[in-house]
Chains A and B, each alone.
Chain A
Amino acid sequence: MPRRWLLASVPVAFFAVLFVYPVTSIIGRGLYSDDGWHLEAVTDVASNPALRRVAWFTLWQAVLSTALTLCVGLPAAYCFARLAFRGKRVLWAALVVPFVLPTVVVASAVLGVVGPRGLLGVELQGTVWAILIAHVLFNYAVVVRTVGAFWANLDPTLEEAARVTGASAWRAFVEVTWPLLRPAVLAAASIVFLFTFTSFGVVLLLGGPGYNTLEVEIYTQTARLLNLDVAAVLALLQFAAVLCMLLIYSRYAHRRGTPLRLRAADESAHRPRGLAQRSLLVANLAFMTLLLGVPLGMLVARSLGGTGGFWAHYLDLGSSRRGSVLFVSPLEAVRNSLVFASAATLVALVIGGLASLAIAGTGASRRGGRWLDVALMVPLGTSAVTVGFGFLIALDSGPLDLRDSIVLIPLAHALVATPFVIRAMVPALRSIDPSLREAASVLGASPGRSWMAVDLPIVSRGLAAATGFAFAVSLGEFGATVFLARPDWPTLPIAIYRFLGQPGPSNFGQAMALSTILMMLTVVAVLAIDRWRVGSAGEF
């Protein structure tokens, strides 16, 4: 059996037990009973104009959100990749903050700016604009960080060679930089599309009654109307759409695996030169401040003050009062989140790392790697409601009786985090010049040693990004956790959600205080991981 199949077997088993089995269980429960299949729901859904409108809205808002995020994210990716400026490292880490905040919190942060009594005085709640703003805010980091990290390692002399050979700056970009950058852009765009296509919390809070995505509709049909059959059909529809998109993506992403000579990121950045570069940098930094700073600033501002003093909401967090919305002190939620996130990151790195090696491995059987790639992306595009419900329904008997086990939470988080690890590592692994590995093995390194000596240092930047993302995703995961968290083991987002669901300024203030803590934790974690690379070789 080829080694790559051995590598792939662990991720495949993980995927089968924790994704395929639970999801097919819940869909089966909706469409099948002892007296056979119930397919009337399919025609019901197809002939229902309201549901058709939902499907159409889901598609076009996702396309528009992705396009908008690329428009504002790509110039910023350029700034991070090619320009040197003060505070770059901190900003690079801070970017990820909105991405890991629970959707509820981001949505209310956006409402603080463009809501009924918002900062701007324009009311956008219930319009598609509020949704689009929140989606851009949410996914900005995906584009900037994925594309920026890749761009930073792209050899700038290629572009210079084009310039000297007669290409204007624009044509040099179109002819040389863009084709080499395209896999990273496609990877980022596909992730943004998946997120916005399956958007839940943002649309629920900002869209009002006028705008529903499939995900919101599935939630409504499952949890409110108990129409499991309609929910199952909608889940299948969403699933099919996501699968189509992934297949198209993987077709293009695999077409070119150009080995690149990569450069250390520090070497390829320079101080901004000329008016154009300077104004581009200033414009991007201003936009970043506006997009990230204003809503999150409102968040922090609302966590302070109150009747009990400036720090009152924070001081309240340490106590567990009778009749409180949580069974435990809210600070325990902080500990729980850290424990779950560490475990989930570890699992995601192992599963995603093995899968990346199998996918990136050279050889004739590329097709197998492609299927694995697509399969492990699917959880990202599947409704969290379906996954969370599926876990509860399916994993309840025999050796898989995990319903009451807290192990389910990190496993669910790892399922969502694994695609990030793969997306970060596969492009890096692919771009390794095979001769480097061959050089190491000729020099007497065993395959394991040569992997340590050659591949690991080169992918370590991707690995650092993957670890950061996995940890952050787990810290902020909400949709599936809301079904799985036991009352005595709440995570931070769950605690925030519970506080937000209660009336009164104290509960709201504590929710904002916890959100601020979550935000700070994320920045510290990502900063630490970004700094920690495999020795000095991290700079290759």
Chain B
Amino acid sequence: MLEVQDVSVRLGEHLALRDVSLHLDAGDTAALLGPSGCGKTTLLRVIAGLQPSSTGSVRLDGRDLVGVPPHQRRIGMMFQDFALFPHRNVKGNVEFGLRMRGDSAEARGARVAEVLELVGLRGFEDRSVSELSGGEQQRVALARSLAPAPRLLMLDEPLGSLDRTLRDQLVLDLRELFASQRLTVVYVTHDQAEALALADQVTVMDRGRVVQSDPPPVLWSRPATPFVARFLGFTNLVAVGVTAGVVRAGFGVLVDGVDWPDGPATTLIRPGAVRLNETSTLVAHVRSVAFAGDHTNVELTMADGTLLEATVPGPPPPIGGTIGIEITPGGIQLFADDVPAPE
């Protein structure tokens, strides 16, 4: 459905995108995830036709979009600050795309009512956009991009300026809407929880490059690089050395019997893979303890000062105490150190 092939964008001296490819099936939601400045908004603008690419191609439904102006691409886009037209009321904003393609007044009125109903703003037609709350403005912007029934809907940090509770609610609403309307969606965010909750496929970007593109469960269980792991919220990334299958960190041996070439590496230790074990030779100091319902989050200081996070089922260890821990062999993931980071 959407096929982005080796797109690069040069802005002056700066390469905003390098050889970015993206594939999206009809009805799926793709999330573009990454820190600000990683190029995700630029990619959106390239797809929308607002930003020419230096090289590469964008195809939608098999049709090459090079040279097609933005208004003929039939793509809906929701902007970061919503970009509602301040001189038009809610109806004037929502019907804009319908008016541009020449729909009759009755057809427009019916469609506007329908879309407003869909986003939960029935009867808001005559309100001025400046008197709406942030959440309502977000919904009007969504309704405006949905009204002309675009082939592809793109949202740029649509929840960025809203508060946490509202965001959690809207994420659920959006997922339901995407599914019920069978929308094909590209969703840009820097919030990994949003991306994982909404998308069929998450594409992580860093400094203009795609680092990993996978369905959320794969992304979560096998992050491709330490950067992805860190961006997903993992903090236990430890420098290790591997010798004959034995993985050794500064504070002791983590696991043995791994299939990995000898040499320095980086390892991700999943918090759930840290087990309490009285008899273990790995000694940890309990720095803090936070009860989290089904489990307890424990912060540990290891012998060489390394900090580890652990999620522990059952009764929590006492703060300030010293305990022994072990690592489940399946709970670590090794990354080669010689993979050059994108400069």
Contact = CB atoms under 8 A, between A and B. Distances in A.
Contacts of B48: 160, 164
A166 B50 contact: no
A274 B67 CA distance: 11
A157 B83 contact: yes
Task: Name the residue in A155, A163, A168 with the highest tally of chain B Cβ atoms < 10 Å from its Cβ.
Answer: A163
A155 B85 CA distance: 10
B50 A160 contact: yes
- Size category of the B interface is 20 to 34
Given A171-B100, A180-B86, A164 B75 contact: yes
A163 B51 CA distance: 12
Contacts of A161: 77, 79, 83-85, 144
B86 A160 contact: no
Contacts of B96: 162, 165-167, 175
A162 B85 CA distance: 9
B79 A157 contact: yes
Interface stretch (A215-223, A229-237, A253-261, A317-325): A253-261
A166 B81 contact: no
Given A157-B79, A175-B96, A274-B52, A165 B87 contact: no
Interface string A170-212: 0110011001100000000000000000000000000000000
B85 A166 contact: no
Contacts of B85: 158, 161-162, 176
Interface residues of A, number: 27
Contacts of B50: 160, 163-164
Contact of B77 (A164, A168, A260): A164
Task: Name the residue in A162, A164, A273 with the highest tally of chain B Cβ atoms < 10 Å from its Cβ.
Answer: A164
Nearest to A261: B81
Given A158-B85, A164-B77, A166-B100, A273 B52 contact: yes
A131 to B, nearest CB: 37
B12 interface: yes
A185 B97 CA distance: 27
Given A171-B100, A274-B52, A163 B83 contact: no
Interface string B288-307: 00000000000000000000
A180 B71 contact: no
Given A157-B79, A160-B79, A164-B77, A258 B70 contact: no
Interface of chain B: mostly helix, strand, loop or mixed: loop
A169 interface: yes
Contacts of B75: 164
Contacts of A157: 79-81, 83
B130 interface: yes
Contacts of B145: 164-165
A172 B100 CA distance: 9
A465 to B, nearest CB: 23
A162 B101 CA distance: 12
Interface string B97-125: 10011000000000000000000000000
Nearest to A176: B85
22 contacts: A155-B81, A158-B86, A160-B70, A160-B79, A161-B83, A161-B85, A162-B96, A164-B48, A164-B70, A164-B73, A164-B145, A165-B145, A166-B74, A167-B71, A167-B96, A168-B69, A172-B71, A179-B87, A258-B87, A258-B130, A259-B86, A261-B81
Given A161-B77, A175-B96, A256-B87, 4 more contacts: A157-B80, A163-B50, A163-B69, A260-B86
6 closest Cβ pairs, A-B complex: A166-B100, A161-B83, A165-B97, A163-B70, A164-B77, A157-B83
